[in-house]
Amino acid sequence: MIRKKFNKDYIWTFTTYFTEGFPFVIIRTVSSVFFRDMKVSLEAIGLTPLFGLPWILKFLWGPQVDEYSTKRRWLLGMQSLLIIMMFLAAVFAPLHLNVQLIATLFFIGSIIAATHDIAIDGYYMEALDKDGQAKFVGYRVMAYRISMMTGTGIIVTIGTNFNWSLAFTAAALIFGIFFLYHLFFLKEVEEQKKPVKSLFLQVLKIKTLILFILIISMIIAIRFFFQSHLYTRLKDSFPILKKFYFSHWIALLLLISLILVGVFGNKIKSFILRDPDSYYARAFITFMERDKIGIILAFIILMRAGEWALTTMVAPFFVDLGIKAHYGWLSGLVGLPAAIIGALLGGWLISRQGLKKMLWPFLLAQNITNLVYMILASHLSRFVTINTGIENPISIGGANLILVGLVHGFDQFASGLGNAVLMTFLMRICHHDFKAAHYAIGSGLMNVSSIFAGVMSGFIASWLGYTWLFGVSFLISVPAMILIPFLPYLSDQPEHKLNE
């Protein structure tokens, strides 16, 4: 019998979630700095959101991570490939075709990194019971944010001040240290279900290959449509479309697909369960058969809608306020520690008091921030009016700058509390046989609201100003709070009862 718990959970929780965040920031954030440093056009850099596509679509191969091998082996396998990716980036950086080579490399790497995320999230749920999952959720957030600071701070600094070969080599070495720790000290927490060899044999089947080719062809066709003259004319006629990226549309298609599954559930279920032994089909069906699945989907999508509308406009607000020079320390020295404290405290309180008791106050704290920002924007509105668009903005004064810091700190602290709630809830709704697959679906869905809230926030801020935008963003957060009394899986029953 494989031991389900082991000592020093906080160490492997930190190391695994550091390694989850690090490839993400390299591929999604550091890459943009690298490409711009290589004089790539802003239009071309605008295509880098394509790197995020595998994180949205990872639910498609989440069942395979559950069905084959173990989460630890998947985790180590993906980490070894990511180290190779970073070393290859270091080799490609000084070459003539460095941009094209690294762009291709990072897209392949994003698929590997998304699979790595599935394995880590699944490992976390296998290794810890319900109380442990809540207790250590703060460490997850802390490790993830520190990894992002490492990427944007250390790696970008090396790349912009020395050279990018050295930067990507440093990234590979940092990641390699964590890989070695996991290789020698990360325990196995589950029995192997099927060998990976059988997965390759399954992939090589004609039916699977045809399905794979059809999916890829559909994605390519959609991509070409968004590059066509027809879509260009549509964007000229409807400017709001300029705010939507290709990855956003894929997320929207995911949402529509799940809605259709809910509406035509019985017919779809009878069709895909013609093979009763299909692990892949059962993973999706069991997710959609969760109690009150409509309320669950609505809550996951809406919970961060108000937060997305707020955070999208915070940086432009700081710029127009005339304090862009202070944005770095406000984010690093105020925002980051506050977010970590919020996540740690949130996870600890949920583990002690239960999700049901903490859900309402944590979500309210997250959304009250929008009203606090509304009051701040109203108080400083004259500085926004004066400083917007000018080269040398006037000072808002020390007292007002401290006030901005306090509001930003509270915002990040409350966001940490909200993240603890969302992660805990996502783990609660996962069926014990499909932990990785179900978490992949839920974590993909939670970003759907960013499509609408982020796009809408820009237009509202332009039309009505920041004060009203922050007020409206609070109203956007209200529907999720209304759903709280109707949510299932909040009680502190034993885990097996919740997940059956």
- At 95-128, the pLDDT tens digits run 988 999 999 999 999 999 999 999 999 999 999 8
Report how far residue 321's alpha carbon sits from residue 381's, in angstroms, rounded to the nearest whole number: 8
Q: In whole angstroms, give the CA distance from residue 271 to residue 280.
A: 13
Poorest-pLDDT segment among 288-292, 298-302, 377-381, 492-496: 492-496
Question: Distance (Å, rounded) from C-alpha 199 to C-alpha 130?
Answer: 30
Supply the pLDDT for residue 500.
44
pLDDT one-digit tens code per residue, 350-366: 888 888 899 999 999 99
Torsion of CA 155, 156, 159, 160, to 10 degrees: -150
Instruction: Give me the mean pLDDT over the 33-44 stretch.
Output: 78
User: DSSP 3-state helix, strand, coil percentages of the chain (rounded to 5)?
Assistant: 80, 0, 20
CA 497 – CA 428 distance, rounded (Å): 11
**Could you give all domains of the chain from N- to C-terminal order, each with its CATH number?**
1-204 (1.20.1250.20), 293-499 (1.20.1250.20)
- Percent of the chain exceeding pLDDT 70 equals 83
The per-residue pLDDT for 467 is: 94
Half-sphere exposure of 421 (CA within 13 A, CB side): 27
Residues 139-177 pLDDT 10s: 888 899 899 888 888 898 899 889 999 999 999 999 999
Residue 186: per-residue pLDDT: 94
Mean pLDDT of all residues in the chain?
83
Coil vs helix vs strand at 239: helix
What tokens appear for 213 in the block? 């080719």
Residue 441 confidence (pLDDT): 81
Q: How far apart are CA 256 and CA 251, in angstroms?
A: 9
Give how far the C-alpha of residue 309 lies from the chain's centroid of Cα atoms, to the nearest Å. 16
pLDDT, position 336: 83
The alpha carbon of residue 122 and the mean position of all alpha carbons in its chain are separated, in whole angstroms, by 15
DSSP 153: I
Question: Residue 67 carries which side chain, given as an amino acid letter?
Answer: E
Average pLDDT over residues 416-445: 85
The encoded tokens of residue 266 equal 């019985």
Above pLDDT 90, what percent of the chain? 36
